[in-house]
Structure 1
Amino acid sequence: MIGYVAVVESTTTYWVWMIWKRRRYVVATMAFFGFFNVFALRAVLSIAIVAMTSTTEVVPGFDWDSKVQGYVLSSFFYGYIVTQVPGGWLAAKYGGKYIYGIGTAATGVLTIISPFAAKQSYYLFIVVRVLEGLFEGVIYPGMHAVWAEWAPPLERSRLAAIGFSGSYVGAVVCMVLSPFISTKLGWEAVFYVFGCGAVLWFLCWCKVVADSPSNDRYISDSELSYIKNSLGDQQVSRIVKHPWRSIATSIPVWAIIVGNFSDAWATFTLLTQLPTFMKDTLHFELASTGIMAGIPYLIMAVTTLIAGKVADCLIEREIFTITQVRKICSCGAIIGQATFLLAAVYLLSPIGTTICVSLAVGIGGFVWAGYGINHLDIAPQHASVLMGISNTFATIPGIVAPIVAGYIVTTPTESQWQTVFIITSCIQVVSAIFYGIFASGDLQPWAVHTDKAEDDVERDSFITRLQLAQKQMNKRSKIHV
């Protein structure tokens, strides 16, 4: 037994050491725990609100009807939508490390003070949630700026998948632990536990992760050379002017926006409404609700990792082009989600619904090997800004979807919940068609000029044409002479 333990310890030490030496995977691992905290902080209210609004003989709950709860659940996104593009711009200019880190830490601090705000009034609670959204809005654009500097093109999908999978593990842990913490220690403790976890992570992030490979004191010469050579002309410059006009008129950019919007509608509908849906239709108790609602996200964490690995392999072995891989992953995931969501609300049995919801959420992990990383394909220099733009549109469902559900599900009845998920499925089908037609994995022409503004590029092009014309005229003059 002692020998077995020694082997396990030595093997674990070996793998930890190997990850530590491969610095891009250290970044991915720390990003995993960062997104773990981000989604735990985002999911905590969807579980806690069930306890917050439940009245017992000992503790009276908040008298919030379904409409008020809809506004409370969506208030986070009022702030979240504001800082997406500014966050992308700041990350492109100053690097993503601190933008990503500070956004997570500040959200954690605001989560800690949330119980105090809720006890004063739900108006103050909404204000705190809006502030949380403001800080968390910079997180995804910030992380895309990190990947733009750290992720070699043939490893983008898997590195990003490692980081993003932390989101779903965080949601699972939050949904499973929150009911038990709430039951034993009170619903306030849920906010304290996960808020403190985010602050502790931030301290580790600042210590362990460098903002670029060149500034990492632990990176080997071979890894630094590999990252730089693989990026080639796509290496990021902090002095960058974004071609806003070309971005706004780019069809591949709009394909990413549409894909992000529809996936966000499904994700936020499930994230904010799944515990209540399972309580209303399947009559699960609070503890069971958290466990059952967490299972789909555990599956999604696994499928996200699988999707990243498979996507990179398909591209590296030239089985499919980057464009084809992004379309297959995105469209397959979106259509699959729509199908299983409809099945879930019409089966309405504990086992059948749980399986369908688990498959619907789980298959969604493939979008991170699709549109989720597509920004880095078409314009790596501007990836953080593109993520900010697409996430701005994707925040709209976070605001609208809970309110729509709150107005539809008033009784509640099975037919009302079916209406909620039919709307979600229709949005997904339309977006899958659009992304399948217009998405691209190719570097866009307007993204090649990484160090010039769009007007500068047009001016230089005009000057070049003028110089060529002058040379032709000089040749003709010599001939005539």
Structure 2
Amino acid sequence: MQRHADNTQAGEEPEAKQDEAPLLAEQPSSRTGLCSARCGLTLVLHISLFMAYGLRVSLSIAIVAMTNGSHPHGWSGSAPHSSYSGFAQDGVIFPAQYTLWAKWAPPLERSRLMNIADAGCTFGTFFALLVAGIICQSLGWPFVFYIFGAVGCAWCLCWFLLVYEDPAHHPWISAREQEYIVSSLAHQGTCHGHSLPLVAMAKSLPLWAITIACFCTDWLFYMLLTSMPTFMSTVLHFDLRENGLLSSMPYVGNGLGHILAGLLADFLLTRRMLGTAAVRKLFSALGMLLPAAFLVAVPYIGCSSTVAVVLLTLALTIISLTGAGININHIDIAPRYAGFLLGITNTFGIVAGIIAPTAVGLLVSQDLQTGWRNAFFVSAALNLFGLIFYVAFGSGTIQDWAREDAAGQ
């Protein structure tokens, strides 16, 4: 594996020192308050992802209500968990977001800014599951389209008024904050042009480490998200309609986990306790290994449905720690191509989201108890493999092919 430096002056310094050098240089002027332009961008992106996932889930609920003829307003009161697989990511939202963060997020604040924004996904899901069902019951399913659609259009106008490409184009940013952001990101170069170093990307082990880890993590995530209600119903005989709060806890826990992970990761970086690579690998390890362990434990807890639900909920909650690990690592290794790389790894994640529920269905169709046990074991094994590969080959430094002076090569 090649060794890389964080800037062109790094020479032959060890990777750990290269990893920390730009971070340490930025620390003295890193505090500008909660009213900063970059914090405003975080709030805007949080609401945007909240709206995007709210629209996605409300559509799923409305479709169920439209085709349900046994109820006056077309809604039975149960959320269509299995129809939501998070594929609102199979578009331009996240690549665009990562391209923005590559120009706005200083390395010492990258984790918390991005994770607070990403938390809008699960909070939007939770909100839509609650509100869209009430709208269907009280007003009828057409009002789901009217209300959510109108709010989405209104927010779209706010987006064009509030979001700017980079600090240099923002009309209200302070000179101090603009200087801090620009100086903290000076080592990563400008945004790429039309050319992409595709061959170098294909040969990059750190990029493959992120890609494989994303595939394995998304396999477990989507398997739980789409199959957990079925497991609770068929194996644990758990009535989700009578326990709406418990069934929604994974969404709340996942969103809070994103925020806490981001704050803690930046704290470790700011206090110089760990370098960038170490922080990314630590949070990836926690977010992949602990959920895998919980899945392995579920088939051996006997008839305790409460413990099984707690373990599965914890698995969906703790997996959010990868938000401060592999997810942000795209910008660490190639900020100039972060949006493009996110599109690549997200495609692998979506493929995992398609295959995982299908594999679970095939395993369970053969034998209920053994099938679920094997499904959990396969997901846990994949996560363990992805974690080992990521720890072995992951990096926290900008790769040579992602540098501005290498763009034409």
Could you say which TM-score interval applies, normalised by the shorter chain?
A: 0.7 to 0.9
CA deviation digits over 1:37-84, x for unaligned, max 9? 2333444466667767767376899xxxxxxx98x767x85xxxxxxx
CA separation of 1:359/1:188 partners in 2, compared to 1, >3 Å: closer, same or farther?
farther
Distance 1:46 1:293 in 2: 17
Deviation for aligned residue 1:233:
2.6
- The alignment's TM-score, normalised by the length of structure 1, stands at 0.69
Q: Is the 8 A contact 1:278 1:289 kept in 2?
A: no
Q: Is the 8 A contact 1:240 1:450 kept in 2?
A: no
Distance 1:297 1:245 in 2: 39
Deviation for aligned residue 1:18:
6.0
CA separation of 1:413/1:149 partners in 2, compared to 1, >3 Å: closer, same or farther?
same
- Corresponding residue number in structure 1 for 2:12: none
Distance 1:42 1:334 in 2: 26
- Corresponding residue number in structure 2 for 1:387: 342
Q: Structure 1 residues 385-394 or 228-237, which shifts more?
A: 228-237
Deviation for aligned residue 1:409:
4.2
Residue of 228, 232, 235 corresponding to 2:182:
228
- Corresponding residue number in structure 1 for 2:263: 309
1:310 partner letter: L
- Corresponding residue number in structure 1 for 2:70: 56
Q: Percent identity?
A: 35
1:32 partner letter: H
- Corresponding residue number in structure 2 for 1:147: 101
CA separation of 1:395/1:416 partners in 2, compared to 1, >3 Å: closer, same or farther?
same
Alignment of 1:425-436 (within 5 A): 425-436=380-391
Q: Structure 1 residues 287-296 or 363-372, which shifts more?
A: 287-296
Give the secondary structure class of the aligned counterpart of 1:299.
Answer: helix
Deviation for aligned residue 1:378:
0.8
Alignment of 1:429-468 (within 5 A): 429-449=384-404, 452-454=407-409
Deviation for aligned residue 1:322:
0.8
Deviation for aligned residue 1:212:
1.3
Q: Is the 8 A contact 2:283 2:324 kept in 1?
A: yes
2:46 partner letter: F
Alignment of 1:316-395 (within 5 A): 316-344=270-298, 346-347=300-301, 349-395=304-350
Give the secondary structure class of the aligned counterpart of 2:70.
Answer: coil
Deviation for aligned residue 1:196:
4.1
2:172 matches 1:218: yes
Deviation for aligned residue 1:274:
3.0
- Corresponding residue number in structure 2 for 1:405: 360
CA separation of 1:271/1:289 partners in 2, compared to 1, >3 Å: closer, same or farther?
farther
Deviation for aligned residue 1:221:
0.7
2:259 matches 1:245: no
CA deviation digits over 1:149-175, x for unaligned, max 9? 100111111111111111121122233
CA deviation digits over 1:380-418, x for unaligned, max 9? 111111111111111101222233334444599444433
Alignment of 1:66-215 (within 5 A): 136-186=90-140, 189-190=143-144, 193-215=147-169
- Corresponding residue number in structure 1 for 2:23: none
Distance 2:289 2:348 in 1: 20
Give the secondary structure class of the aligned counterpart of 2:185.
Answer: helix
1:355 partner letter: V
CA separation of 1:57/1:220 partners in 2, compared to 1, >3 Å: closer, same or farther?
closer
CA separation of 1:38/1:162 partners in 2, compared to 1, >3 Å: closer, same or farther?
same
CA separation of 1:234/1:450 partners in 2, compared to 1, >3 Å: closer, same or farther?
same
- Corresponding residue number in structure 1 for 2:13: none
CA separation of 1:46/1:427 partners in 2, compared to 1, >3 Å: closer, same or farther?
farther
Q: Structure 1 residues 141-150 or 346-355, which shifts more?
A: 346-355
| Greater helix proportion | 1
Deviation for aligned residue 1:206:
1.3
Deviation for aligned residue 1:263:
1.4
- Corresponding residue number in structure 1 for 2:8: none
Gaps of 5+ in 2: 1-31, 76-80
Q: Is the 8 A contact 2:73 2:140 kept in 1?
A: no
Distance 2:375 2:66 in 1: 24
- Corresponding residue number in structure 2 for 1:116: none
CA deviation digits over 1:276-302, x for unaligned, max 9? 333334445564465323201211211
Distance 2:73 2:408 in 1: 60
Give the secondary structure class of the aligned counterpart of 1:211.
Answer: coil
Residue of 200, 222, 227 corresponding to 1:268:
222
Q: Structure 1 residues 266-275 or 153-162, which shifts more?
A: 266-275
Distance 2:63 2:304 in 1: 24
CA separation of 1:50/1:360 partners in 2, compared to 1, >3 Å: closer, same or farther?
farther
Q: Is the 8 A contact 2:74 2:141 kept in 1?
A: no
- Corresponding residue number in structure 2 for 1:422: 377
CA separation of 1:310/1:73 partners in 2, compared to 1, >3 Å: closer, same or farther?
closer
1:222 partner letter: R
1:392 partner letter: T
1:377 partner letter: D
CA separation of 1:191/1:316 partners in 2, compared to 1, >3 Å: closer, same or farther?
same
Distance 2:74 2:147 in 1: 23
Q: How many residues align?
A: 374
CA deviation digits over 1:324-358, x for unaligned, max 9? 11111102210111112333455464421231122
CA deviation digits over 1:415-470, x for unaligned, max 9? 4433333322221111111111111101112222357322xxxxxxxxxxxxxxxx
Distance 2:149 2:40 in 1: 23
Q: Is the 8 A contact 1:342 1:421 kept in 2?
A: yes
Give the secondary structure class of the aligned counterpart of 2:109.
Answer: helix
Q: Is the 8 A contact 2:188 2:398 kept in 1?
A: no
1:417 partner letter: W
2:317 partner letter: G
Distance 1:257 1:437 in 2: 14
RMSD (CA atoms): 3.2
